[in-house]
Amino acid sequence: MYNLQSGIHRQRFPTRLTPKQAQEYKMRQLQSGDVLESGHAPKFLKGQGRHKGAITGIAVDSLNRTVISCGEDGKIKFWDFATSLLLHEIDWYPMTRIVGLRYHRNSDLIALSCDDGSIRVLDITTKKLVRELWSSSSEQAPLRTIDYTFSNDGRWIISACSDSTVRVWDLPTGHLIDAMKLPKPCTTLAFSRTGEYLATGLEGDVGVHIWTNRTLFTHVSTRQISEEEIATISAPTASGEGGAGFIDATEEVEESREDGQEDETVVPIMDQLSEHITTLSLVPKSRWQTLLHLDVIRARNKPKEAPKPPEKAPFFLPSLQQDNSNSTVPVTFGEPDPSSSRITSSALTSRSTASAATNTFTSHLAAAADNPSPATYHTLLSYLSTLPPSSADLALRTLDTSSPYPELLTFISALTARLRERMDYELVQAWMAVFLRLHGDVVVRDRGLIQAVQEWQEEAKRERERVGGLVGYAVGVVGWVRSGRG
């Protein structure tokens, strides 16, 4: 162990002994030879406990008290960080050898990958085995775990195996709850700290594939799935590479709409437990955060330069008589490019869908203006919460900004009424931020709009101070209880 700043050697596990110390410890060990006969576990002495095989993993606990190491000798050793004494040892040899270690700080769990294809989970506090995760295979040889990681909350373990399959294990139940078979073996993976994304790298690919965590949007069952239920899917592709994946996905959405399936996200409705409690929205966090930063996302996705034609065309062009099964795109003359027509149709369809959503939002806004009541405001904002970020942004952009500003006043009044009900607090804040960014120049020119925004601001300030006071009171009570003065 070395100091990162000075580079000075600080510690060694186990500590190297001088010849005199080694002789003294040997004599002491001979004098205490009756320890094994009494039935008690032998105590590890200073300088003892070194691995007999290559070390394959090492971790330090969150309090810098214990160092955990594992090796190909099948042993897991727990060392005292300050004295470098061996505190505890777990021996799995010759049952298996350990090839990797991952540590999750918040839960104090370590996951150990073994050469028999299993992942074993240990609790470093109790030093007990809590889970064994096995990946079955039709092959005789056991699967090799290439890479694995904990989820941000320590509930899952995501592993990539040599059979090109990424598996998701639920630690509380020990079930395999999800798996996907990729076209190539996954060489590395990482889980984001916010729990929103999984990043994977495939063998032979130069890009990083990003997967979205579906549990943030919908309920996912924790039932055990079998190996036969593992679906073979392709890795995500960038929309800039021809846009084929984007076009195919658009066609699938249109087919589902033709079958009568709506594309709107159904937001669960939960009654407020008490009118004195501020209730947050059940809309996924990523949706209203995307709405806040939609302009930045569009600016980043905008191509920096127009596509350029190739400088030199290939000498041989595929003819119409050739079999097109091996060629990617057949070359035809005098006919329009089918991909361009598909892009045009998908673009027109997306525009028509957004226009329909805007018209529905406008009708709800007109009903709220004719009959201003909590019920009409609730219907208006409930429909707005079901819209995707792009459609919600378009609906707010198309608000009528002509004097005397009835739609703007109605929308501000609906947000103020929602704050008085103490519901959807963070969603109301996001909508107001987008509204002021889009129509702030109109608001500052009209006294009625300024008064409506000030009323909303006073209501938000009153609620913020109320919740802050309750939190401060609770923190004070907890601090008094923990101080032991009572």
Q: Which pLDDT score, from 0 to 100, does residue 35 have?
A: 46
- Give me the sheet containing 186-191, strands edge to edge: 186-191, 197-202, 209-212
Collapsing DSSP states into helix, strand and coil, what is residue 145? strand
3-state SS string for 80-136: ECCCCCEEEEEECCCCCCEEEEEEECCCCEEEEEECCCEEEEEECCCCEEEEEEECC
Rounded Cα distance, 230 and 280, in Å: 36
Let me know: does 113 contact 137? Beta carbons within 8 Å.
no
Contacts 24+ apart (CB under 8 A), 324-327: none
84-92, Cβ contacts within 8 angstroms, sequence gap of 24 or more: 84/11, 84/12, 84/13, 84/14, 84/15, 84/46, 85/14, 85/44, 85/46, 86/14, 86/44, 86/48, 86/49, 87/44, 88/127, 89/44, 89/49, 90/122, 90/127
Residues 6+ apart with CB under 8 A from 327: 318
Q: What pLDDT shows up at residue 244?
A: 43
> Rounded to whole angstroms, how far apart are CA atoms 69 and 13?
10
Token code pair at residue 329: 């795109």
Q: What's residue 338's pLDDT?
A: 47
Peptide bond just before 404 cis, omega within 30 deg: yes
- The predicted structure's pLDDT at residue 268: 52
Number of Cβ atoms within 10 Å of the Cβ of 163: 18
Please name the residues in contact with 10: beta carbons below 8 A apart, sequence gap of 6 or more: 1, 2, 3
C-alpha 293/C-alpha 434 separation (Å) is: 9
Per-residue pLDDT of the chain (486 residues; tens, 9 = 90+): 888 888 888 888 888 777 777 777 777 766 665 444 444 445 677 777 889 999 999 999 988 899 999 999 999 999 999 888 899 999 998 899 999 999 999 899 999 999 988 999 999 999 999 999 988 754 556 788 999 999 998 999 999 998 899 999 999 888 999 999 998 899 999 999 888 899 999 998 888 898 888 887 777 888 888 888 888 888 776 544 444 444 444 444 444 444 444 444 444 555 666 777 787 777 777 777 888 888 887 787 777 777 776 666 555 555 444 444 444 444 443 444 444 444 455 555 555 666 677 788 888 888 888 888 888 888 888 888 888 888 888 888 888 888 788 889 999 999 999 888 888 888 888 999 999 999 888 888 888 889 999 999 999 899 889 888 888 998 888 888 877 554
Backbone torsions φ then ψ of 8, nearest 5 degrees:
-80, 140
d(CA 346, CA 353): 10
Residue 446 φ/ψ, nearest 5 degrees: -120, 130
pLDDT of amino acid 333: 39
Contact 217, 307 (CB under 8 A): no
Domain boundaries, the chain: 135-239, 280-292+352-486
In the numeric block, which tokens belong to residue 279?
């209730």
Please state, in angstroms and rounded to a whole number, the distance separating the CA atoms of residues 57 and 71: 7
Beta bridge partner(s), residue 250: none
Q: Is 127 exposed, middle or buried (0-12, 13-18, 19+ CB in 10 A)?
A: middle
pLDDT score for 421: 87
The span from the CA of 175 to the CA of 224, in Å, is 5
CB-CB contact of 448 with 404 (8 Å)? yes
Instruction: List, in order, residues 6 or more apart from 355 with CB less than 8 Å away.
Output: none
